Amino acid sequence: MFTQQFFIEGLGCASYFIADEKTQTAAVIDPDRDVQKYLDAANERGLKITHIIETHLHADHVSGNTELAARLQAQGQAANVYLPENSDAKFPHIALREGETLTLGSLEFQILATPGHTPESITLLIRDTARGMEPALAFTGDTLFVGDVGRPDLVGADAARKLAGEMYDSLQTKLLPLADGLMIYPGHGAGSLCGRAMATMRVSTLGYERHTNPALLPRTRDEFVIFNTTDLPEQPANNKRIKAMNRQGPRVLGEIVPRALSVQQAVSHFQRGAGLLDTRAKPNYVARHIPGAVHLELNDQLSNRVGVLLPPDAQVVLLLDDPADYTRVVYMLARVGFENVAGYLENLEEWEARGYPVTSGDVQDIDARELENRIANDARVVVLDVREAWEFRNGHVPNAKLIPLGQLHTRYAELDPEMPTAVICQTGSRSQTAAALLAQKGFKQIFNVRDGTAGWKQRGFPMEA
């Protein structure tokens, strides 16, 4: 048996390649849209992918199941797509039912229905019959993570308590009775919004989780429901649309070919309603950028944050530091449902030379000490905290207004664009995204507190709870 994990930083998504090398057959579990890595893994070891399996319908990223199946078909191969039986998927697939077993050479995949994160969630319990009949590992999807369990509210707040109860039952009756040595391969890790406290370690054992995972501490069912529905992080942006795309069957992207746009071509797209996504490094954006651009640095958080800044159906023009980044950015957008990329603006200098507007300085970086000084000397300064409510409750700048980042695109009208606005989070990352959104909306004077609440607290300034 050969296994390999693939992990997407930022989104925290884990997918898996598992193979029986004797029969040279392989399965891919929970693939993301950039499927070339799975094809490469198969080619490197002389294997044939025959199974593409989903543990549930994802809400934080668009699956690569149809993409991988199409790419294999183009190579003259055939692989079936498998989904849990009550996923209500609308595209060709084979339904997986509780108690069924898939066979891959000497490997047996036993299907355990483990609802809780979603109603259709399953766990794949793997036996290598060439070595014995004890389960060797479990692909737990979004049921059991390292250090956490799946959140129950992504299918709707009304269903959360019911699903939290089902999560308790899944853990107590399906997973916890298994042996301590069982390897746990979760569907997400640190950075994901599908849980709230995942560890940075990406695989574990059931015994280790039994003794260290806070979600597995002894509780009654009612106590667990309260625990599993309290202090949840912001929901993944665009999650309902992503889930609908996964249910309908993701569109096959095919080969990603970079498209350079002249100034005139870009202007034509803007006139038809396209948005401009500027992914350049922050110093380059601050020095000079196109008014109205959405700024998200090309880093691991781009996929998580684009959904709070751009409408999902908008056509997008990119502005890049390096055209070689084009394919990477397109996949980062496609993973969260943004599929309509027109191309990238080839030359900002030409844009400016032709008399089109550029600007700078609409967002100013300050530190916590400068913020304290501005508050003391200007009663008009509004402090906007874009952290989550539970973070805010644990301590914030006095008189700060809370609007979590994920809600800002619908609630920015609660603020006065004429007032100086200082945006703060924990460390200056989320606040930079929020400040760029306020600049796009025409706010006149915006400050990003680059060291965040952590810097404010470190300097001993007063905190309010």
DSSP 64-127: -HHHHHHHHHHTT---EEEEEGGG---SS-EEE-TT-EEEETTEEEEEEE--SSSTT-EEEEEE
State the pLDDT at residue 362: 83
The CATH number linked to 41 is 3.60.15.10
State the pLDDT at residue 292: 86
Averaged confidence pLDDT in the chain: 94
State the pLDDT at residue 393: 93
* 212-242 tens-digit pLDDT: 999 999 999 999 999 999 888 877 778 889 9
Domain boundary among 226, 248, 270: 248
Q: Judge whether 328 lies within some domain.
A: yes
Nearest one of 169, 172, 139 to 152, comparing CA atoms: 169
Give the integer Cα–Cα distance in Å for 213 and 207: 10
Identify whether residues 15 and 61 lie together within a single domain.
yes
Nearest one of 18, 185, 181, 31 to 106, comparing CA atoms: 18
State the pLDDT at residue 330: 97
State the pLDDT at residue 238: 84
State the pLDDT at residue 402: 97
State the pLDDT at residue 373: 96
State the pLDDT at residue 154: 87
Identify whether residues 213 and 193 lie together within a single domain.
yes
Q: Judge whether 270 lies within some domain.
A: yes
Identify whether residues 60 and 169 lie together within a single domain.
yes
Domain boundary among 248, 282, 316: 248
Identify whether residues 13 and 119 lie together within a single domain.
yes
Whole-angstrom CA distances from 356 to 289, 348, 429, 445, 461 are: 11, 10, 30, 23, 44
Q: Judge whether 255 lies within some domain.
A: no
* 154-192 tens-digit pLDDT: 887 789 999 999 999 999 999 999 999 999 999 999 988
Give the integer Cα–Cα distance in Å for 230 and 246: 27
**Which tops the pLDDT comparison, 170 or 433?**
170
Query: What percent of the chain is predicted at pLDDT more than 70?
Result: 100
Strand locations in 229-375 (E): 260-261, 275-278, 294-295, 316-319, 341-345, 363-366
Asked if the model's pLDDT at residue 391 lies above 80, the reply is: yes
Tokens 């350049």 belong to: 280
Identify whether residues 65 and 172 lie together within a single domain.
yes
Burial 275-300 (b: 16+ CB within 10 A, else e): bbbbbbebeebbeebbeebbbbbbee
Query: What percent of the chain is predicted at pLDDT more than 90?
Result: 84
Identify whether residues 123 and 51 lie together within a single domain.
yes
The domain of 306 spans 260-353
| Mean per-residue pLDDT, 405-426 | 94
Identify whether residues 317 and 238 lie together within a single domain.
no
Identify whether residues 44 and 165 lie together within a single domain.
yes
State the pLDDT at residue 265: 97
Domain boundary among 220, 248, 276: 248
The CATH number linked to 424 is 3.40.250.10
Q: Judge whether 463 lies within some domain.
A: no
Neighbours of 201 (CB within 10 A): 12
Identify whether residues 220 and 170 lie together within a single domain.
yes
Contact 49, 78 (CB under 8 A): no
* Lowest-confidence region among 146-155, 191-200, 445-454: 191-200
Give the integer Cα–Cα distance in Å for 336 and 198: 21
pLDDT tier at 286, thresholds 50, 70, 90 = confident
Asked if the model's pLDDT at residue 302 lies above 90, the reply is: yes
196-203 — which CB contacts under 8 Å span 24+ positions? 196/148, 196/151, 196/231, 196/232, 196/233, 197/147, 197/148, 198/12, 198/145, 198/146, 198/147, 198/148, 199/145, 199/146, 199/147, 199/148, 201/146, 201/147, 202/5, 202/7, 202/14, 202/146, 203/5, 203/146
State the pLDDT at residue 269: 97
Contact 269, 342 (CB under 8 A): yes
**Structure token pair of residue 319:** 């502005």
Asked if the model's pLDDT at residue 409 lies above 80, the reply is: yes
Identify whether residues 62 and 134 lie together within a single domain.
yes
Identify whether residues 46 and 171 lie together within a single domain.
yes
Asked if the model's pLDDT at residue 54 lies above 80, the reply is: yes
Give the integer Cα–Cα distance in Å for 366 and 373: 11
State the pLDDT at residue 308: 82
* 71-118 tens-digit pLDDT: 999 999 999 999 999 999 999 999 999 999 999 999 999 999 999 999
pLDDT tier at 278, thresholds 50, 70, 90 = very high
State the pLDDT at residue 193: 83
State the pLDDT at residue 138: 98
* 141-152 tens-digit pLDDT: 999 999 999 999
| Mean per-residue pLDDT, 185-200 | 90
* 14-49 tens-digit pLDDT: 999 999 999 999 999 999 999 999 999 999 999 999
β-partners of residue 141 are 186
State the pLDDT at residue 276: 95
State the pLDDT at residue 333: 96
SS3 content of the chain, % helix, strand, coil (to 5): 30, 25, 45
Identify whether residues 345 and 368 lie together within a single domain.
no
Asked if the model's pLDDT at residue 433 lies above 90, the reply is: no
Neighbours of 314 (CB within 10 A): 13
Number of domains in the chain: 3
Give the integer Cα–Cα distance in Å for 71 and 417: 49
Whole-model pTM: value is 0.90
